[in-house]
Structures are given as structure tokens and as C-alpha cells.
Structure 1
Amino acid sequence: MRTDTTAVTGPGTEAEVVIAGGGPVGLMLACELALAKVDVVVLERLTEVDTTIKAGAINTPTAESLYRRGLLPALEEVQRAGLERFASFLRQRAADGADGVAPAPRFAGHFAGIMLRGDLLDAEDPDFHAAGPADGIGFVPQDAVERLLAERAAELGVTVHRGVELTGFDAADDEVTVRTTDGVLRAGWLVGCDGGRSTVRRLAGFPFPGTAPEITGHQALVEMTGGEGLKAGWNGTDTGIYAHGPVPGRILTVEFDGPPADRGAPVTAAELQASLRHTSGVDVTVTKVHSATRFTDNARQVPDYRRGRVLLAGDAAHVHAPFGGQGLNLGIGDAVNLGWKLAATVRGWAPEGLLDTYTAERHPLGAWVLDWTRAQVALMRPESHARALRAVLTELAGTAGATTFFVKRISGVRHRLDLPGDHPLIGRSAPDLEFSDGTRLGDRLCAGGGLLLDLTDDSALRARAAGYADRLRVLTVRPTGPAPAALLIRPDGCTAWAVDAAPGSAAPLDGLDDALHRWFGVPCEGAM
């Protein structure tokens, strides 16, 4: 990653894609484009990786995407360190004489602060066992994801201009002229990954309908006195919500008396102290702020993620309350879905309409997340009707069926795209099959690109992929357990086609040609 904070752009500079925003979403998109040999430039106004406390965990699709790009060992190390910090938090509370420091049942997430118990999950549900090693990854905070992706971008040679901000652009039919605080770039495409207050979205004129904010929330890492009087975990009171932990000094508050007067003002120790005292009733004193952010439940989404040669991803395309940590995961999913489609368009082999499937596939999931967070805000309100409903839902969440329902949706293991074909794997993330040579499918996807997985040594199957060698690899390998006869896997890890076959028989190839054309375009001339 070529990083510079001096004058790094100049008149006439060209790139195939410019990305505004170098957070996790922009960096993930840049890495996906770089894998496809696309010349990409990232503009980031901050000079260093943002360490502001934000999302504290990732879901299964995000863990899968990072695992499939070779980042599993790094994720495991981050999670190990995070769990040690949680253990330290419990030890500190015990030393301070706080009540309720015994380890709770295995945590499986929460809905509106209603804790979900891992020991109530249906352990036999196959949806929890398809992602291989990624199934065990979750406790990875947003700043760690950004740092890992920044390192990955450096390995791939991505150009990141830090301390450089997009100030304007002119989009034509064949290029985008991007103006920055350090000069001008001409690019084929511009992608706004520049957050909820996206400059790209505003200047491009994307509509941004939705619902206005009703709450003021804070999240911070602080030093304080009197914290032993706070209960660990999420707590509802007559004046709002507060949370303490799962790491030392981490606090969260939610007040339901309207949005903040100035969302962009610096978050002070006095403001955090007042909010925590108000919501908890505990006379704490905040003595130092290490990291703090202010948030609302503003929930909006652009109707279409593309306008000509300008696209949006992550919070630039959709904003919502942060409860459940869905925002980071939604943005990473946008980047992985868009990356290969934009690369195919740049490279000239994209089938007609491929780039339009980005909105078609990602918009419904974004809309679901907005409603998922709206429902949580409704359940957290400190008024009698919401509390009555919350009591009912809390009792329901204490059952195995409801816990499994919530966790499958929070974790993302049930995400499925509406793709043509009847096989149950189509539209789902490809299962992380284990092979006889000791590798797994995730190990075979680090280079990006599509993959036709031949699991029965079928020459007729492999012949169908002739002509796609520049965009699709064919892998013939034996699985160690039950598996389909063949899978066609898109570069984003989604199963585009699958077929079962009896042992020893050739796989029926109905639908394979259509899937190849739909997702990988026209084969090279003379190959078929």
C-alpha cells in the first residue's frame, strides 16, 4: 500500500477506480479490485487508521470473507487477545468488589439488549457448521478489521492517499473527474465508501429516504471512579439504557429524548458522565476518555446503489442504529459483492447487467438491517407498552427455538440471494468443504476469481468451463465427507450453481451453461 500524506495527486493522474473512504469498507473493496488486477486509488481524509470505538464483533459472512482471503490466523489472534481483555474486565470487577462477576452462560449475541444464551442453540442445525473455521470467529472489533485490511492492501500494492479528501467530481458517460484537496484524478469509476455523511452521495444527488432519529447514544472507552456500582452487560432503567463491559472501561448509553443538538461536536468527559449518571443512576465520575463516539437511530437507504459511473457502499448507501453491530458487516458484504462485478466491468468481460445485480442483491439485505435495528429501538424504549412487549420477547428468547432463530439472523448464516436454480445451495455462501489433500475450500479462494469445483473427476464438467480460464479456475479434488458433485462459486463466495450425483456417476450439467453465461459472460472465442 503506497501511503503518503503529502501532495500525492496531480492534474491528469489516472486510475481505473477511485474509492472515497479508506475505512474497512473502502479497504475491503480496494483489496477485491486489486486481486483482479484493477488499478485502484483510495482517498482517505484521516492520516491514520481510525481507532474510535465502534462495532465490537463481526458476523459469519464477514469472517468467511476475510478467511477466504487468507486472514484467518490474524483474526484468531485478535479474538484471543479480546477474550483475554474480557477476562481481565471480570477480574477487575471482582477486585473492586462489584456484584455479579461470575461468568454468564455462553454469550451468543443480543437483540435490543436481550441476551441470547449459547447453550440454548440447536447445536445440530447445519447452518452453524457450513463456514468451517470462520464459524469460530466473532469477537473482532472494527478497528482491528481496518488495521488488518490496511495491511492486506499494502501487500497487494494498493495506493492509499491518506490526508487527502474528495472535494468534488464531474461524472461523464465514460469517466469521472475527481477533485481532491491535493489535485485532480481522472478515473473510470468512483465509489463512495465515505460513511453516513457521504460527500459522494450528496454531490451525486442520490435520494436518501428513511426515518428521522429519535435517540441519542454514546459509546466510549473511559477511565472512571465509582464504576463498581454499575451492573455488567446491558441494563434497562426508567431513564434509558446503559451497558458496561465486556472490556475494561467500555460504556454505552442510550437516551430516548431526541437526537443530539450537534452530532458532530467532540464528545467530552462531562457529556459521557452526565449520560451515564442519567441512565444508570450511579454517581460515577469519568476521569479520562480514550475513545468516544455519539450515535442516533437515523435509518435511511438509497433506492439504487449506482448512478452511472458512481456507486456507493457501506454507510454511504445505508445508515441505521448500531445495535447488533450489523453496519460493519453489511458494508463488508457490499464491498465483496461489488468488487468482482466492478472488476469484471473494468476488464470488459462482464455479462450484460452484471453491475446492476449489485443493488438487486444488496439492497434487500440493507432494508432488512434497517428494520431489524428499528425493532430493537422500539423494544428498548423506557415506556410501559415497550416494556410489556420486551418482557414477552425476553421469555420467548429463553427458548431453544427462538434463540436459534435470532442467532441465525444476527450471525448472517441464513443470508441467501435469490438466484436462478433449484439446488438448496444456490444463492448461499459455499460450504467450507474439506478435501482429501488436507486443504479446505476457504484455502482455495485466497486469490479471488470464480471457481468451478469438480468433486467427481468429471471431464464433461470441466469441458464446459473451456474459454473461461481468464476469469474462472477449475479445481478437481476429492472431498472427505458428503458433498455435491460440483459447485460453481462466484468470486464473492456465493454458490451460483450446484448439482448432486450418485457416487460413481457423472454429474448432470443442466443449468451450468446458463450460470456460466450469467455470471462470467461470453467464453473466449473458439473455446466452445
Structure 2
Amino acid sequence: MPEHADVLVVGAGPTGLAVAAELALAGIGAVVLDALPERSGQSKALALQPRSAELLDARGWLDPLRPHVHALLPRGHFAGLPLDYSVLETPFPHQIGVEQARIEEVLEQRIAEAGSPVRWAHACTAVRQSADGVAATVETPTGATEITADYLVAADGAHSAVRRALGVPFPGRAARMRMAVADITLARKPSGLADEWAPPQFGGGGFGYLLPLGDGVYRVLFGGEEQQALDRTVPVTAAEVQRALEAVHGGDVAVAAVRWGSRFSDASRQVERYRHGRVLLAGDAAHIHLPAGGQGLNLGLQDAFNLGWKLAAAVRGYGSESLLDTYHDERHPVAARVLVNTRAQGVLTIPDTDLLALREVVGDLLTEPDANRRIAMEVSGLGIRNPVLGAAPHPLLGARLPAALAAEAAGPLRSGRAVLIGPEPLGEAAAPWRGRVEHVPSAARAGLLARPDGYICWAAAGPYDAAGLDAALARWFGRPDTEAAMYRRNEIREEPIR
């Protein structure tokens, strides 16, 4: 008989690991596969945006990263043009400069402790599904095997094998410009180069970042005429990096070695649906874009936090099919907007004389407080507002919990539960959902119901007003009398959640 899992996660990058870690909070041990023989050790992405930091902190997964932080940047950026994050209402009004590899280490350790270590050198080569589940053919070091699951999460990157196996189209725009990234050591660094993180510099028909990572290692990201003619399979060489650095910094620089290098482009694509039956696509398997503004890693992480608790509810038996559908409804528009702003940033990155003039104009606009705040809220992830149809209007509905309330709800959120903040009568009303929803008494507030990912899905109109609370609890957290062993989704008829 094939091995069976509640959830099969294909891809052990930050998105797949975060989904598995979220499932572990609910006591669900996902099987996590990755085609690579082992973790690459490459630093990859370098920035946590404020909303991602809030989510990781809510779970207690940010503290292990603190020793590895290179910088706390009070500014974000839009194509290298500074955004002032100090005006944002968050405990983390900065980008956190930390390597993706460190984030993956923390999440991988979390799922290993929960009994679900990553299975390296396990490549998913075929997928078939029915109304009852999914079956994946997996090539392992000892031969092919089959793993069945109730659900499969495809988090296996831009060239997703799962997406291809299902024949899911990946529409969008092909690459128009190519760039390269590498971690390097320098035999001689440019005079005047401070050991701090700075915006990109332009010169010699190209642009480049040169960021210190500590221990004499630097991240370089560059693009110019030479890179446009090179296929992504061509290795990034020390000579190529040397030429790119000289174009920006002059001759006062010498590359000692390239630790690793990679090529990327401004291709912009997104699947039309994030859910295909019992297969959910997340991270780069669902969307790709120019890594501008430091949004890519964060977009995938936030996919995972949105999906994880919903998938756990489905496996446990109290989450409906329409609850799972909200993953697409909520996350697809967010990624679509990121694709728009990264395409705009790509235009502002082309080192043309007239584009440099446009950068100057846009940079001036971003110094205006309203413009800065609007774009900063978007790039930081703090401006996300999920649609909650059928609920009474409220200024906070669909938004994340404000920082002060998130601090009050720290206990439930750390354990992956929903939280109801409000006076005691509301707690009594939510008692049948105990175990899924935790009440935090607060006599001073009318009442807010927040999901495990910290987004508000019900808000009282006034003190002791519980109108709509039962409906919201049932809609997001199932019927109170539902037990997983007796639950049958097709016996439940409910209004779809949008």
C-alpha cells in the first residue's frame, strides 16, 4: 500500500516549510519533499518585510533569527528609491536584513521537532487526483514510490513540477531584461564603501547593489548590457562580477571569489487559480515577478500563513470547501498587485538617461507623506485587507489586528488559534468553539474576532453587541458540534465565503 499523508508539501523553501510549520501547530504532520539532495546553503533573499516579521513573531519564530540579522533598515525601497517605514504602525517599522537560508533553517528545525523532517532527494514526477485525495509519484534515492494525501501543497518554485504535471497554465509576460546575483568576497573593496546597506548605484550602462553580509562576504546584484545576452544556465563568474562592479564603482575594486551565483529576470506570471481540486499552489509556484522592493520571499511566506490554518481546519474536519476557496480569493489579488508594482519598479531600474530623470521625479513624489505611506503600506505588506462579504461594515474588518491588540492576543496566536477579544458575554457565546477560538477578556472594547493569521473577520458594532458573531464563528471555524471523525463535507450546505 502507498504511504498516506494528511498533507503532502512539495518544496522545502520558505513557503513550503511555513505551511508545514503551520500544520504542525494543529498537530498535523505533513510530509515535506524536495528534489534537491540537501539544502543549498545559498543565502538567497535578504529581507523580511514588517508584515512577515509580525507573523513570524506571533508564532515565536522570529527570536531564533535575531542572532543572524545583518541590519534593521528603517527604510524600505521602491526600485531603490527610499520609503520611510518609521511612520508605519507596527512593532517592526523596518526591513529586517536576514538571509533566506536562516529563515529556512528555523522553519525546518520547527517541523523536524514536530516529527516531519524534510525528505531530500525526493522529486515529485507525476500527480493525479480524485474527489477524495491526491496521489503523487515520487522518485527517491532508492527508486520510485507513491504517496497519497488528502491535500497537496505545491510550493516547488517557479518551474513547479506539480504545476506542470497538472497542466496548469502560467500566463503572464516573458522576460525583457536579465540580471545576476552572487555572494562574493573582495580582495579590494571600493574606497568610500561603508559597511552598511545602501540603495543601488547606477553607472557605466548598468546598476548594482553591493551589500555586506558579514565575515567579509558581500551580496552583489547587478544588471547591464552583458547580462542581457546570457542564458540563466550560464555560470556567474568572478570576471563578470568584476566588470559589473567596475562599471559602477570604477577600477578601485577587486573580486576575490564567487561563493555562488544565479541569474534571474523580470518575467511576470501568475496562475489563474490557486486551488485545483485538492492541490493548492503557493509561493513561486503560483506567481513570479522581478525581485524588486524585497517582496518575493514575503509574498510566499504570507501565502503560507493564509493557507496553513485553513488546510488544518479541512484536515481536522471542521473546515469547509468554501473556507479553502478563500485562500485563492484573498491571496490572488495581493500577488496580482505585487506583479503590477514590480513591473513598475522594473521600468525604474533600466539605466537609461531618461529613466534616470523619471527616477528623480518619482523619488521626489515619494518624499510626500501621503505617497510614501501608501506605497510603504503596499510594499511592507501591512496594507493587506481581506474581503469579508456578508459582514456588517466596520473600519477594522478584514485588516490585521492593530499592534496593541496583537500583543493582547499573543498567547492564542502563538499556538495557532483564533482569538476573540471582548467582554465576558462574548466569551460565553464562543464557548462551543473552545479549542479553535480562545477568548481574551477585555471590558474596554466592543469585540473583535481574529483568525489564526491575525486578520479580523468579525467586529462588533458597539459594546456587548454580538450580532453576527455565531455566523462568523461557524463560517470561519466550522459548526461547534462538528467532530472530525464524523464530519462529511458533502453533507454540509453553507453559503460560500468570499
TM over 0.5: yes
Q: Is 1:26 paired with 2:16?
A: yes
Q: Equivalents in 2 of 1:70, 1:378: separation in Å?
A: 38
> Structure 1 residue 328 and structure 2 residue 297: aligned?
yes
Number of the residue aligned with 2:65:
75
- Give yes or no for the alignment of 1:111 onto 2:78: yes
Distance across 1 between alignment mates of 2:388 and 2:315 = 24
Deviation at 1:148, TM superposition (A): 1.1
Corresponding residue of 2:184? 222
Residue 166 (structure 1) aligned to one of 111, 117, 124: 124
The amino acid of 1:473's aligned partner reads E
Structure 1 CA distance, aligned partners of 2:455 and 2:384? Answer: 10
Q: Is the Cα–Cα contact under 8 Å of residues 78 and 144 in structure 1 kept in the other structure?
A: yes
State yes or no: 1:347 paired with 2:309.
Answer: no
> Displacement of 1:230 after TM fit?
7.8
Shift of residue 54, structure 1, vs aligned partner: 2.1
For 1:421-436, list aligned pairs within 5 A.
Answer: 421-433=392-404
Inter-partner Cα distance in structure 2 for 1:26 and 1:450: 22
1:181-192 → structure 2 map (5 Å cutoff): 181-182=139-140, 183-192=145-154
How far does residue 318 in structure 1 lie from its aligned partner after superposition?
0.2
How much has 1:214 moved relative to structure 2? 1.4
Contact 1:41–1:158 under 8 Å retained in 2:
yes
How far did residue 41 of structure 1 move? 0.1
Q: Which residue of 2 aligns with 1:468?
A: 433
After superposition, the C-alpha distances for 1:49-83 in whole angstroms (9 at most, x for unaligned) are 3332322111122111111111232233332xx13
Tell me: CA distance 1:491–1:148, structure 2 relative to 1, closer, same or farther (3 Å): same
| CA–CA separation in structure 2 for the residues paired with 1:157 and 1:205 | 32
Residue of structure 2 equivalent to 1:451: 419
Partner in structure 2 of residue 155 of structure 1: 113
8 Å CA contact retained: 1:396, 1:402: yes
My pick for the range that moved more, 146-155 or 371-380, is: 146-155
Q: Which amino acid aligns with 2:36?
A: L
Of 133, 158, 163, which residue of structure 2 is paired with 1:175? 133
1:377 aligned partner: 346
SS at match of 1:50: coil
Shift of 1:245: 1.7
Distance 1:287 1:230 in 2: 19
Name the Cα RMSD after superposition.
2.5
Q: Equivalences for 1:443-522 in 2 at 5 Å?
A: 443-454=411-422, 456-457=423-424, 459=425, 461-477=426-442, 484-499=445-460, 501=462, 506-522=463-479
Contact 1:256 1:381 survives alignment (8 Å): no
What's the secondary structure of 1:507's corresponding residue? coil
Instruction: Find the counterpart in structure 1 of residue 167 from structure 2.
Output: 205
One-letter amino acid matched to 1:170: R
Q: Whole-Å Cα distance in 2 between the matches of residues 53 and 266 of structure 1?
A: 17
Tell me the CA shift for residue 136 of structure 1.
6.0
**1:299-448 → structure 2 map (5 Å cutoff):** 299-420=268-389, 421-433=392-404, 440-448=408-416
AA at the equivalent of 1:113? G
Deviations 1:409-436 (A, max 9, x none): 221221111213312111111123369x
Return the alpha-carbon distance in structure 1 between the equivalents of residues 174 and 183 of structure 2.
27
Q: Distance between the aligned counterparts of 1:472 and 1:311, measured in 2?
A: 25
Rate the CA distance shift 1:73–1:226 in 2: closer, same or farther, 3 A. Answer: closer
- Deviation of 1:485 after TM superposition, in Å, equals 2.4
Which residue in 1 is equivalent to 2:493? none
Distance of aligned partners of 1:493 and 1:13 in 2 relative to their CA distance in 1, 3 Å threshold: same
The aligned residue for residue 98 of structure 1 is: none
Counterparts of 2:132 and 2:5 in 1: how far apart (Å)?
13
Secondary structure class of the residue paired with 1:408: helix
Amino acid at match of 1:404: R
- Report how many aligned residue pairs link the two structures: 470
Give the equivalent residue in structure 2 for 1:196. Answer: 158
Give the whole-Å Cα distance in 2 for the aligned partners of 1:345 and 1:368.
28
Alignment match, 1:48: 38
1:14/1:186 contact within 8 Å kept:
yes
> After superposition, what is the alpha-carbon deviation per residue over 1:366-401, rounded to whole angstroms, capped at 9, x for unaligned?
001111110011012122432222121122223433
Given the superposition, is the C-alpha separation of residues 525 and 239 from structure 1 closer, same or farther in structure 2, using an over 3 Å criterion?
closer
Deviations, residues 314-365 of structure 1 (Å, cap 9, x unaligned): 0000000111111111001111111111121122211351111111100000
Distance 1:367 1:525 in 2: 36
State the SS of the aligned residue for 1:169: strand
Deviation per residue, 1:112-158 (Å, 9 max, x gap) = 1123356xx5x4xxxx23x44x4466222211111111121122222
Following the alignment from structure 1 to structure 2, what is the Cα–Cα distance between the partners of residues 219 and 52? 11
Q: Deviations over 1:435-471 (max 9, x none)?
A: 9xxx7423431111222223x33x2x22322332242
Asked if 2 retains the 8 angstrom alpha-carbon contact of 1:69 and 1:445, the reply is yes
Aligned residues of 2:126 and 2:137 also touching (Cα < 8 A): yes
The secondary structure found in structure 1 opposite 2:119 is: strand
Contact 1:214–1:257 (8 Å) recurs in 2? no
Report the identity percentage: 39
Distance across 2 between alignment mates of 1:338 and 1:117: 30
Give the whole-Å Cα distance in 1 for the aligned partners of 2:211 and 2:251. Answer: 16
Report if the CA contact (8 A) 2:182-2:236 is conserved: no
SS at match of 1:419: coil
Larger relative contact order (Cα-Cα within 8 Å, sequence gap ≥ 6): 1
| 1:170, distance to aligned residue in structure 2 (A) | 1.8
- Equivalent residues of 1:67, 1:442 under 8 A apart: no
Question: Structure 1 residues 398, 246: closer, same or farther in 2, change over 3 A?
Answer: farther
Give the match's secondary structure for 1:331.
helix
Which range is displaced more, 13-22 or 107-116?
A: 107-116
* Worse-superposed segment, 137-146 or 270-279: 270-279
Q: State the alpha-carbon separation in 1 of the partners of residues 95 and 203 from structure 2.
A: 32
Aligned equivalents of 1:432 and 1:156: distance in 2? 29
Q: Measure the CA separation in 1 of the matches of 2:449 and 2:84.
A: 36
Q: 1:492 to 1:260 in 2, by over 3 A?
A: farther
Q: Quick one: which amino acid aligns to residue 358 of structure 1?
A: Y
